[in-house]
Amino acid sequence: MFAPTIRRMPRPSEVARMTTSELRETFQVQSLFAPGELRGVFTDLDRLVVGGVVPVETPVVLPNHKETGRATFLERRELGAINLGGPGVIHVDGRTFSPDRLDCVYVPMGAKEVTFESQDPTQPAKFYFLSCPAHTAHPAAMIKPKDASPVAAGAAATANQRTICKLIHQGGIQSCQLVMGFTDLAEGSVWNSFPPHTHWRRTEVYLYFDLGDKVLSHFMGEPQETRHLFLHNEDAVLSPAWSIHCGCGTGNYKFVWGMAGENQTFNDMDAVNPVDLR
């Protein structure tokens, strides 16, 4: 279930002195997916909640938590869920959505009853979700990657050829402040979000998946005080607004990105020249 406390972020000067174990305990989120369970953690990054749900034989209901301070979990929050597993079902106050793999469902502020199911328990759905505070409600909706106007980026020559699928954003599913999507790296490409950037107006969470047995090095920290984390399949990493966030794997992979903050402008970022990294 949800962790009982908020994952609190240190200041940049503290990160520069942290050990490997301290970095992992602070920024890395592991073991989000367990059969028949809903797991998650609250953070103080724009009050984002990071979670995973794997329904098997019986439906899993989204519970409330004392950290919301409200009568229901989504009374003053919104939620986005991307299915990383087999065909699933999400019920939202009597409405039913049937997301296949990589489909995304948006659940608005004010939704009272949210239930996750798998269509086939032998191939369970695997929902990765993010939730952030909201002050206005938009309609519940589902979108498939093919309807998200995928954008090609990067090049094979620089080992970062990738396809970006924006799902919850100004040109897709409408939300109050949540932005979500995923990036799919082509075979032979290993770098994501490089050259790196920061965006002080939004915080971000990455969830790396389809890594298999491959290993990924996620780079973080201030541009002149970088640190790294070695991550494995379905590990998530928290990224404060002041931190770069890019990664390099031992093979291609995918990752879900999600943001919350002062705006939803995807390109509102502060680029960092690679030669200035330290």
pLDDT value at position 200?
Answer: 84
pLDDT of residue 263: 75
In this predicted structure, what is the pLDDT of residue 99? 98
**Exposure string over 85-119, b if 16+ CB within 10 A, otherwise e:** bbbbbbebeeeebebeebbbbbbbbebeebbbbbe
Q: Show the tokens assigned to 189.
A: 């490409």
Which backbone phi and psi does 121 adopt, to 5 degrees?
-60, -20
**CA proximity to 251, closest of 205, 201, 211:** 211
Give me the amino acid identity at 94.
Answer: G
Q: What are phi and psi of 182, to 5 degrees?
A: -145, 160
Identify the burial level of 211 via C-beta atoms within 10 angstroms of its C-beta, where 0-12 means exposed, 13-18 middle and 19 or more buried: buried
DSSP 54: B
Range of the domain at 130: 2-276
Please tell me the predicted confidence (pLDDT) of residue 201. 83
The region, left, alpha or beta by phi > 0 then psi within -120 to 50, assigned to residue 210 is left
Which residues in the chain come in under a pLDDT of 70? 1-4
* Pair of tokens at residue 205: 């969470």
pLDDT of residue 34: 97
DSSP string covering 12-41, please?
HHHHTT--HHHHHHHHEE-----BT-EEEE
What is 169-200 written as a DSSP string?
STTSB--SS-EEEEEEEPTT--EES-S-EE-T
Assess contact for 233 and 209: CB atoms under 8 A.
Answer: yes
Q: Specify the pairing of strand 2-7 against strand 38-43.
A: parallel
pLDDT of residue 4: 57
Give how many domains the chain has, as a whole number.
1
Res 123: pLDDT = 97
pTM of the full predicted structure?
0.96
- What local confidence, expressed as pLDDT, does residue 5 receive? 73
CATH number at residue 193: 2.60.120.10
The pLDDT assigned to 269 comes to 84
pLDDT at res. 2: 66
Handedness of CA 92, 55, 258, 171 (dihedral sign): negative
Residue 110 tokens, joined: 């004010």
